[in-house]
Amino acid sequence: SWFTDSMREGRPVAVETRHLIQDTLPTVPEGSTPTPVTTVSQYACQRRTTIENSNKIFTDAFEVLADSYEFSEIEGSCLAFRRAASVLKSLPCVVRCLGDTEDLPCLGDHTKAVMEEILQYGRSFEVEKILSDERFQTLKLFTSVFGVGPKTAEKWYRRGLRSFSDILTEPDIHLNRMQQTGFLHYEDISRAVSKAEARALGNIIDEAVHAITLDAMIALTGGFRRGKEFGHDVDFIVTTPELDRERTLLPDIIDRLEQQGILLYCDYQASTFDITKLPSHRFEAMDHFAKCFLILRLEGSKVEGGLNCAEEDRRGWRAVRVDLVLPPMDRYAFALLGWTGSRQFERDLRRFARSERRMLLDNHALYDKTKMLAVSLAGRVEERSSFSLCLFVSRPRSL
């Protein structure tokens, strides 16, 4: 209804493509002219983005800069480059000159200077300098290990460590269980997970869950839900209509995976979800639902077309990162919306809710600040796309 309201009021709806409007709005009555809309929205949640990226040459450069700022804890610049990358990913065509970017949001002077260099020389010298920087290379290497964040990586770098063998042979370094597993399965976990592998894992989780309870629901989420061919992990949401069962179901699923001999690692976090504490007024990076971060052993025989492995790898299995989240059923729609991503999409969806709709959105709830009311979605769990559509105009796929 917001969509139609804003049309009625003659406000331009900041949606990038006209066909999107045709997809989502009732047909405009004959004889009337629809408002032409060509603006690229500053919000990722209002930009239609496909998995094809026509501007990879620029977005790869922006991502290096963003990572570099992240390592230096300069959050504003990091976010600026991530936003700029997200805007360019939504464009259907290659940017051929700076003039093409004139009407685009979220592109500042620094971003444009980098683009200008790339347009002129085919590369950015600033980015090349970062890529050849020893600190950047080392932090990139260390943070590529499961369980190693920027803080630990920086600490190790400051101690003069530069390689994995430096870390593994340094007697004073104590690796936690997550990091030990990260090193143990480094090759496997660093290799992309294919769609076929994600499907095979879906079958395994489905079988495990339904052996325990028949009325649970399982959804593949994260990058694969957005149509990506490859991911760094596989994310699933599991939920059940049995009241409070979501608090005990996950340990049961984990036990079953262990009995099957395929559980290589498990970090289980019990639910801290408390409906009486909603809405949360601060932005929360992680939700309160029960969840677990797993590494599973995936047999090649279970994967259609075989594993995404090197030819000479004759083990016949690989390790894969899997995340399971268990929201209560009446929170399913919010959890699914939050876990589908991308990160930028989620960030902007919340920002859009706050700034444009005076609402608070997180993975648990949507709260209308003007009415002091939580928006209920009970009984509408299957209508996720229409849910986000009626709330935020559209829900195009966004990477």
Residue positions annotated with a catalytic role: 233, 235, 323
User: What are 290's strand-pairing partners?
Assistant: 326
Residue 208 Cβ vs ligand DCT, minimum distance, rounded to whole Å: 20
Q: Which of 147, 231, 338, 396 binds Mg ion (CB under 5 A)?
A: 231
Using rule CB under 6 A, residue 327 touches ligand DCT? no
Q: Which of 147, 222, 300, 396 binds Mg ion (CB under 5 A)?
A: 222
| Sequence-ordered list of residues with C-beta below 8 angstroms from that of 262, at least 6 positions apart, any chain | 204, 296, 297, 298
Count of Cβ atoms closer than 10 Å to residue 94 Cβ: 12
Using rule CB under 5 A, residue 235 touches Mg ion? yes
**Binding segment (CB under 6 A) for ligand DCT, from list 16-24, 182-190, 272-280, 335-343:** 335-343
**Binding segment (CB under 5 A) for Mg ion, from list 40-48, 110-118, 221-229, 287-295:** 221-229
Residue 220 Cβ vs Mg ion, minimum distance, rounded to whole Å: 10
| Pairwise CA distance, residues 327 & 160, whole Å | 43
Residue 287 Cβ vs ligand DCT, minimum distance, rounded to whole Å: 9
The answer to whether 253 and 268 are in contact (CB under 8 A) is: no
| Pairwise CA distance, residues 145 & 334, whole Å | 30
Please name which of 322, 398, 318, 331 lies closest in space to residue 361, comparing C-alpha atoms. Answer: 331
Environment class of 180 (CB within 10 Å of its CB; exposed 0-12, middle 13-18, buried 19+)? middle
| Pairwise CA distance, residues 272 & 170, whole Å | 37
Q: Which of 147, 327, 328, 341 binds ligand DCT (CB under 6 A)?
A: 341
Rank residues 16 and 233 by Cβ distance to Mg ion and give the closer one. 233
Q: Give the H or E element holding residue 2.
A: helix 2-8
CA distances from 322 to 214, 346, 363 (A): 22, 20, 19
Using rule CB under 6 A, residue 342 touches ligand DCT? yes
What six digits make up the tokens of 291?
Answer: 């969840």
Using rule CB under 6 A, residue 346 touches ligand DCT? yes
Using rule CB under 6 A, residue 223 touches ligand DCT? yes
What six digits make up the tokens of 279?
Answer: 């809405």
**Binding segment (CB under 5 A) for Mg ion, from list 224-232, 248-256, 260-268, 298-306:** 224-232
Rank residues 300 and 341 by Cβ distance to ligand DCT and give the closer one. 341
- Contact string (CB under 6 A) for ligand DCT, positions 226-265, x = contact: --x--xxx-x------------------------------
Residue 342 Cβ vs ligand DCT, minimum distance, rounded to whole Å: 5
- Residue 342 binding partner per list ligand DCT, Mg ion, none, with a CB distance cut-off of 5 to 8 Å that depends on partner kind: ligand DCT
- Residue 339 binding partner per list Mg ion, ligand DCT, none, with a CB distance cut-off of 5 to 8 Å that depends on partner kind: ligand DCT
| Pairwise CA distance, residues 66 & 296, whole Å | 31
**Binding segment (CB under 6 A) for ligand DCT, from list 3-11, 86-94, 143-151, 339-347:** 339-347
Residue 37 Cβ vs ligand DCT, minimum distance, rounded to whole Å: 27
**Binding segment (CB under 6 A) for ligand DCT, from list 182-190, 222-230, 373-381, 385-393:** 222-230
Residues 123-152 interacting with Mg ion (rule: CB under 5 A): none
C-alpha dihedral, 391 to 392 to 396 to 397, nearest 10°: -80
The answer to whether 329 and 241 are in contact (CB under 8 A) is: yes
Please name which of 296, 318, 297 lies closest in space to residue 307, comparing C-alpha atoms. Answer: 318
Identify the three-state secondary structure at position 359.
Answer: strand
Q: Which of 93, 214, 243, 285 binds ligand DCT (CB under 6 A)?
A: 285
Identify the three-state secondary structure at position 117.
Answer: helix
Using rule CB under 6 A, residue 197 touches ligand DCT? no
Using rule CB under 6 A, residue 287 touches ligand DCT? no
Environment class of 96 (CB within 10 Å of its CB; exposed 0-12, middle 13-18, buried 19+)? exposed
Please name which of 56, 83, 62, 77 lies closest in space to residue 130, comparing C-alpha atoms. Answer: 62
Question: CA-based angle 209:214:220, to the nearest 5?
Answer: 45
**Binding segment (CB under 6 A) for ligand DCT, from list 80-88, 90-98, 220-228, 364-372:** 220-228
Rank residues 69 and 157 by Cβ distance to ligand DCT and give the closer one. 69
Which residues of this chain interact with ligand DCT, rule CB under 6 A?
Answer: 222-223, 228, 231-233, 235, 285, 338-339, 341-343, 346
Which residues of this chain interact with Mg ion, rule CB under 5 A?
Answer: 222-223, 231, 233, 235
